[in-house]
Amino acid sequence: MRTYLAKRLLLIVPTLFGVAAVVFLIMRVIPGDVTLLILGGDQTGRIDPQQLAAMRHQLGLDQPIAVQFGTWLWGVLRLDFGTSLWTGQPVIEEVLIRLPLSLEVAILATIVSVLLAIPLGMVAAVRQDSWVDYVIRVVSIGGQAIPSFWVGILVILFLVIYFGWGPPLEFTPPWVDPWANFQQLVWPVATVGYRYAAVTTRMTRSTVLEVLREDYIRTAWAKGLRERAVVIRHALKNAMLPVITLVGTEFAFLIGGLVVTETVFTLNGVGRFVVDAVAHRDYPVVQALVFLIALCFVVVNLLIDLTYAWFDPRIRYH
Amino acid sequence: MAVDSSLIGASATAPLAARLTWPEQVSGFVRAKPLGAVGAIIILIMLLVAVLAHALAPYDPYLADYGAQFARPAADHWLGTDEFGRDVLSRIMYGARIALFVGFAASFAGCSLGAALGVVSAYCGGTVDLLLERAMDILLAFPQLILALAVASILGPAVPNVVIAVAIPIIPRAARVVRATALSIKENQYVEAAHGLGASHYRVVAQHLLPNVFAPYLIILTAQLGTAILAEAALSYLGLGAAEPTPSWGLMLSGSAPSYAEKAPWIGLFPGIAISLAVFGFSLFGDSLRDALDPKLRGK
């Protein structure tokens, strides 16, 4: 187990280094210069070359790319992600302002989806090819097919027309005013949760279907166990591994993957911050966010692998 | 040891089960997988609309008619008009071309490249496998939409660039699935026998590995078609996909659609239905195809 853990932790290093290198290169290749965007130019659109050079020097953009990358990596090792080229604030502070909102939406959407998806997927599998299965499959495929930004637009439209509701301008944390927080996040959570539940329902259905064909399930039936015991105790527990993997990876990506939902609901979260940072060519912000999301992804993946042994005691780590 | 030649002859000439004709195969699929058949019909209709858009569309999708701005859905304009007086139905019909082109091109390119890398990775093993796996890990650690967003920003807003931006995140997903299958196929005795008979690496890969990874390749291809259409719509919605005045479904939902949502809800309503229906069709068909090709998921 220890050797396995050490091996997995060691493998995280090249993956994160690769992500850091790729995102660093991508941001340098994207056309558009942040210094030009910041300076904007005078009324005729002209920019003083000396001012431009001074700004580039100030931001460290006049150094060779390898040096810039090295400096940035050294900062990351000390948990210093630099300062935003656009706002001048430390990146980590900017991220920490937005993280609670995205984290809350991601956690609530995960809870909603798991509570809906596991029972629905299980029922669909047990009643394969019945009308219940067809309804659950159609609703869950619909959840994956309908673009979340369109659902968001429809929800806002409905609420604006019938209830005079407007998207909130500022995020209220749950510890300040739980009711205001609930009102702000209920629709984004429902929108994201539906899509997320749809994916998880389909996965639960197909894995339970596979497990139900196993010999030990036939044995359980032959022993005369009740349906509830066969399905929940024997089938569901063994079908959970791929579902946990999916729930975990989707959660890791949700924090940064709320790009479109946050844009539609004008929520000032991490996802929207990425879009704005790409548009502004705010290199340190994009680099930091992608790096942190990737870190979250690999750590969650590792945790998922470690929970496998709890669900399936046959699994041993080498 | 003497061998009864009459037995060999009998087995060699035993009548084989009659091969099903393709109409019989289709009707068998429809009976076994009705939801898959519904998906196939949706896809067929979409394909027909996309191919025949120039003949079926009642108006030029680019033609602005300022006398008919925000026209409600009626006999003249079945799905109404937008803020420039352009016919929404015609734009949706032409939009099917872009959605299907990006969907097919991106998933085909991404899955094919991913499958090739997956097969090479599994077959070569060792350092090649380790390096390719780490490269796939790096690509997988990027959130799909953020990677597409970054690539689209580099290449600029245009339909062919969207194909590349959408295809890149598909590569590692296809590579993972195909590599897993190729690893188990590589261990089969017929592959060993091919090596024993002196077959070249190219021959083993082309004749034994590739045909046997076709089923997972097809499954991931159909699964990614819907995802690619959604990704194109999301990129266009964020302003990084097709540029105005291209009739792209995602683009039709951005900009003016939410602004005029109260005045003319049909501008944002119908393109959304078109996207959902397309992805729904591909998902239904893809699911049923997976069930049909995977013996573990077949009904009792």
A59: its two tokens: 């931001």
Instruction: Give B93's pLDDT tier (boundaries 50, 70, 90).
Output: very high
- CB-based contacts of A147, cutoff 8 Å, min separation 6: A260, B230, B233, B234, B237, B250, B253, B272, B275, B276, B279
**Residue A135's closest chain B neighbor by CA?**
B35
Residue B9 pLDDT: 46
Of A142 and A35, the structure prediction assigns the larger pLDDT to A142
Q: Which residues of A touch B142 (CB under 8 A)?
A: 19, 22-23, 290, 293-294
Chain A contact present for B263, CB below 8 A: no
Residue A88 pLDDT: 83
Segment A264-277 mean pLDDT: 85
Q: Which of A140-144, B31-35, B271-275 has the lowest mean pLDDT?
A: B31-35
Q: Which residues of A touch B137 (CB under 8 A)?
A: 11, 15, 18, 298
User: How many residue pairs bridge chain A and chain B with CB atoms within 8 Å of each other?
Assistant: 140
Q: Which of A164-178, A188-202, B9-23, B97-111 has the lowest mean pLDDT?
A: B9-23
Distances B43 to A134, B92, B166, B292 between C-alpha atoms, Å: 19, 15, 20, 18
Residue B6 pLDDT: 47
Segment B177-197 mean pLDDT: 88
Segment B49-70 mean pLDDT: 89
**Cα A312 to Cα B130: distance, rounded to the nearest angstrom:** 27
Tell me the torsion sign for CA atoms A70, A71, A73, A78. Answer: positive
Cβ neighbours around A225 below 10 Å, total: 15
Residue A119 pLDDT: 93
Chain A contact present for B292, CB below 8 A: no
Q: Tell me what ipTM this predicted complex has.
A: 0.76
Element (H, E) at A241: helix A237-257
**Cα B137 to Cα B131: distance, rounded to the nearest angstrom:** 10
Segment A216-245 mean pLDDT: 86
Residue B208 scores a pLDDT above 80 = yes
Segment B80-104 mean pLDDT: 92
Q: Enumerate residues 293 to 312 of chain A having a beta carbon within 8 A of any beta carbon in chain B.
A: 293-294, 297-298
Residue A36 scores a pLDDT above 50 = yes
Chain B contact present for A231, CB below 8 A: no
Cα radius of gyration rounded to whole Å, chain B: 24
User: Residue ranges of the alpha helices (H) in B70-213?
Assistant: 88-124, 126-141, 144-155, 159-186, 189-196, 201-204, 210-212
Q: Which residues of B touch A142 (CB under 8 A)?
A: 276, 280
Residue A34 scores a pLDDT above 90 = no
Residue type, A169: L
Instruction: Give B298's pLDDT tier (boundaries 50, 70, 90).
Output: low
The pLDDT tens digits for A106-116 are 999 999 999 99
Chain A contact present for B261, CB below 8 A: yes
Number of H helices, E strands in chain B: 15, 0
**Cα B243 to Cα B157: distance, rounded to the nearest angstrom:** 6
Q: Enumerate residues 95 to 124 of chain A having a beta carbon within 8 A of any beta carbon in chain B.
A: none
Residue A264 scores a pLDDT above 50 = yes
Structure pTM?
0.81
Residue type, A233: R
